[in-house]
Amino acid sequence: MTIDLADVPIWAAIPAAAFLVIGAGLSLLGTLGLVRLQTFYDRIHAPTLATSWGAGGMVMASMIIFTAASARPVFHEILIGIFVTVTTPVTLMMLGRATLYRDRMENSPDLPKAARHVPEPEDEEKEEQNT
Amino acid sequence: MSEIILVSAIWIAQGALALAMCLCTWRMVLGPRAQDRVLAMDALYVCAMLQLLAFGIRTGNTIFFEASLVIGVLGFVATVSLAKFLMRGEVIE
């Protein structure tokens, strides 16, 4: 399916353009955070801006443009939005866990204070007995 | 009129995404550790996906959305397997 951008009416073009610019701008902001922030545990939050509002804005814009230009509802882009929303927490959670594990093994100074305590096997047994 | 608005918005979006990809590459080169590089690669995959989405809007062709979805799936699998590798030292146990 192919559309011509000139077929898009003006009332659809303005919100679509706004969504495009907002989505791409927030993706840029997220990657700027990826470069600027100091520790890994700060940096892991930054790219989520690109996967939440970035992807959402671009998908929204494309849905508006294709629906307005072909004069029928076009919703298949929403698959991309759903997929990105579902997979991002999974990947970042796994990456964060792996980093925590590696930092605890090396007792790295980057490790946040609250995460520094490594539970010993004896502690776990005590906790089990308490509960 | 609407074409001018859309084309300029798409150019701005593609420029911003290209800059975002450059920043991801910079973090990937900079490191300093393996997990930073994996995180930068994940962000680079997402930016490439959005770039392809913007390209699909500009050409008005829906075939690029399937390509974009494939890039998304590849990015997910790559990041999960690399995180698994960082955790255990092997991908499949």
pLDDT tens, position by position, A22-63: 999 999 999 999 999 888 888 899 889 888 899 999 999 999
What is the length of chain B?
93
pLDDT, mean of residues B2-11: 88
Q: Give the three-state DSSP class for B52.
A: helix
d(C-alpha A118, C-alpha A112), whole Å: 12
Please check the confidence at residue A74 and state whether its pLDDT lies above 60.
Answer: yes
pLDDT single digits (tens) A92-105: 999 988 888 888 88
**Paired strand residues for B61:** A2
Q: What is the mean pLDDT of residues B25-39?
A: 89
Enumerate residues 58 to 87 of chain A having a beta carbon within 8 A of any beta carbon in chain B.
Answer: 58-59, 61-62, 65-66, 69, 74, 76-77, 79-80, 83-84, 87
A96 to chain B, closest Cα gap in Å: 8
Give me the half-sphere count of Cα atoms (radius 13 Å) on the Cβ side of residue A108.
Answer: 16
CB-nearest partner of A62 from B3, B56, B72: B56
Rounded to the nearest angstrom, the minimum Cα separation between B91 and chain A is 13
C-beta separation of A15 from B3 below 8 A: no
Q: How high is the pLDDT of residue B49?
A: 92
Which CATH architecture best describes the domain B2-88? Orthogonal Bundle (1.10)
Confidence of residue A121 (pLDDT cuts 50, 70, 90): low
A32 touches chain B (CB under 8 A): yes
